[in-house]
Amino acid sequence: MNSGRTMFAQVMDFLPLAEFRRCVDRYRGDYKVQSFSCWDQFLCLAFAQLTGRESLRDIEACLRSQQAKLYHIGFRGHISRNTLAHANETRNWRIFADFARVLIAQARSLYRDEPFAVELGETVYALDSTTIDLCLSMFPWAQFRRHKSAVKMHTLLDLRGSIPTNVYVTSGAVHDVRILDQLLPEAGAFYLLDRGYLDFARLYVLKQSCAFFITRAKRNTQFWRRDWRPVRRCSGVRSDQTIQLTGPRTAQLYPDPLRRIHYFDAEKDLRLIFLTNNFQLPALTIADLYRARWSVELFFRWIKQHLHIRSFFGTSENAVKTQIWVAVTVYVLLAIVKKQSHLDLSLYKILQILSITLFEKNPLLSGFSQTANNFEDADPRTQLNLFHL
């Protein structure tokens, strides 16, 4: 890397600029634009995500304080909060969604051989959603309850590397199960779903697509046992059955047999009932796979805590979706930087280091080389007693 370039410019070098231009041309994002291009808009929003800016005024003030360095970073337009606000309102959010998908494909290829909690050659996805609360008076298009608005971020997460494969941004009133209609099932892949996605008609579509699903059963599920398999109760598996649905509607919606596994989690004193259409894997592997679904919850926690998606720079639907997709792009970009630079650091540490070194003119790796991934625990005997008299 060129030591005369800022860290921000070196990080942006990991982005395929030609692909970004194709996305812009696809939606005519720069049509009749003279001074503030879509690339300038993206750089502003990416800077805001990397440094934790809170508002358009905050972005404007910070970037203008580094005016002499902006041209060498890639900015060609004049930075103004009004110009950025107008761009967020009017330029198609699909530009940034398509560009994020380009990076997602690149990241998935990099993490294809990443070790997984379960020894399994097939791709494993976890599908879930998180709700972002909004003010009803400012976001009336996303009304969720009588007195509040919200948007949902539905995410299909590839558990190898925790890469978000698909993201669907909807109003809070959209039920989770409807997202299954937008999926293109991958033959041979496993889909980990919670009980909110238990819809036998849609699950049967996954089965007909030669994909596997693992979900939790509801208590009122009606069935009769066709067969059973011996289990080792010491492993936590209480029963492993082949069942046939007998409900008035469910028997028609899912006419094929299902596998029902009763598992007891001794650590949490929790009994779980799994339903799956996979009859080959051991019952304990099915339980371990479903436990790995927790990765999507960790992804939501990470992106909410460390990126800026809980409050928004604009109030229109276009502005909200633009900001969320840029946040997803930054998350995937950090994963690519980590993998291609062979960094033994967590994404959080990479983000924290970049947030205070973006305008420093040092080689990219030098900012991370002095930071160890593990810190020695402090000796409690050296800590002062706050209440010692």
CA distances, 260 to each of 180, 216, 256, 275, 297 (Å):
22, 9, 13, 5, 25
- Locus of tokens 């107008």: 86
- pLDDT (0 to 100) of residue 116: 78
Q: Give the residue carrying structure tokens 């005024």.
A: 57
Q: Is the pTM of this model over 0.85?
A: yes
- DSSP bridge pairs for 132: 151
Q: Under a CB-based contact definition with an 8 Å cutoff, are residues 174 and 227 in contact?
A: no
- Residue 63 and residue 81 in contact, taking contact as beta carbons nearer than 8 Å: no
Q: What is the dihedral of CA 302, 306, 311, 315, to 10 degrees?
A: -90
Query: pLDDT digits over 236-254, tens only?
Result: 999 999 999 999 999 999 9
Sign of CA dihedral 25, 27, 33, 35: negative
Q: What distance in Å separates the CA atoms of residue 277 and residue 262, rounded to the nearest whole number? A: 15
pLDDT along the chain (389 residues), means of 10: 76 95 95 90 95 93 88 84 94 97 96 82 93 93 90 95 93 93 94 94 96 94 92 90 94 95 89 95 93 93 93 94 97 96 92 91 79 49 48
- The tokens for 213 are 């699903």
Map tokens 């558990």 to a residue. 159
What's the pLDDT at 371?
Answer: 54
User: In this structure, which amino acid lies at residue 293?
Assistant: R
